[in-house]
């Protein structure tokens, strides 16, 4: 099969082709929660969540990621029924109104099944198929792509990349055992999930060491506490510029998808980083026809 510059096979998600290595893709976060760490939880306000999804799509989001349970440190787990009550109406309405692939952010197979039936196209599992033994067989059965994340919470620390690789290899083994084609998988190193601040920063510096797995890399640094700590304790809503720096650095080290709260701003960061790192063969793709380039 043909390979992209990143070494990963292109995949179709929700009718859209994702050519890994050609550019950076943006996943917009839609938190249908009441206790999001970033202060953007929308609770049971379906209309607000759908409006946010429409806006994200207009701003350039390639995937909309809908989640109904906070995954912040010390989060309170919600019941299956409550999680479904939060996410299903949003997924159903977004699937009708927005021309963008929808991801369901859950580690519970019953929630994933219901959301995929409601119109989602991708499973984003923060436990990398390891929490619910029914998740990998479900993904294989329904033939959908999945993001598998390494979650360091509750695990002994040895080495940042070594621990990530070891965790991902377990998840990849579960996927293979269930019959999920490798080309339908995206890996996530788990920025902010059980790591000390210095480990998160090291993860960004060494992200390129995961490229030899031959799979697209997703990373979610947006508004996270490491950024707040580095910037002197600024609150989540003031971490835009810090997030922009981490996104650009992640792209430089091989990220294929960035998961973000501030879509419009991060789309600009991605396009600028891509122009430097993945130059368009015919020149600047954003230049208007007949308009000369400015020279400063």
Rounded to 5°, the CA angle 290-292-296 comes to 165
Distance CA 36, CA 169 (A): 30
Instruction: Just list the catalytic residues.
Output: 224, 259
- Which pair of structure tokens corresponds to residue 214? 């031959």
């Amino acid at each position: 099969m043909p390979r992209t510059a990143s070494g990963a096979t292109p995949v179709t998600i929700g009718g859209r082709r994702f050519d890994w290595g050609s550019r950076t893709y943006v996943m917009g976060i839609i938190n249908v929660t009441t206790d999001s760490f970033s202060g953007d939880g929308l609770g049971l306000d379906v209309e607000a969540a759908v409006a946010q999804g429409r806006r994200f799509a207009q701003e350039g989001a390639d995937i909309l990621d809908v989640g109904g349970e906070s995954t912040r440190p010390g989060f309170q787990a919600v019941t299956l029924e409550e999680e479904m009550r939060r996410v299903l109406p949003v997924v159903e309405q977004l699937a009708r109104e927005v021309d963008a692939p929808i991801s369901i952010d859950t580690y519970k197979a019953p929630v994933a099944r219901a959301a995929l039936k409601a119109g989602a196209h991708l499973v984003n599992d923060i436990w990398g198929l390891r929490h619910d033994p029914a998740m990998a067989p479900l993904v294989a059965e329904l033939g959908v792509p999945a993001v598998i994340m390494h979650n360091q919470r509750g695990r002994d620390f040895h080495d940042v990349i070594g621990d990530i690789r070891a965790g991902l290899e377990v998840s990849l083994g579960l996927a293979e055992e269930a019959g999920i084609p490798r080309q339908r998988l995206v890996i996530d190193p788990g920025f902010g999930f059980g790591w000390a601040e210095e480990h998160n920063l090291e993860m960004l510096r060494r992200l390129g060491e995961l490229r030899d797995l031959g799979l697209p890399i997703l990373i979610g640094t947006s508004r996270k506490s490491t950024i707040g700590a580095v910037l002197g304790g600024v609150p989540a809503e003031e971490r835009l510029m810090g997030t922009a720096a981490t996104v650009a650095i992640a792209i430089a080290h091989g990220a294929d998808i960035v998961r973000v709260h501030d879509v419009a701003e991060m789309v600009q960061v991605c396009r600028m980083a891509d122009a430097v790192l993945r130059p368009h063969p015919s020149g600047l793709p954003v230049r208007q026809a007949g308009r000369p380039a400015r020279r400063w």
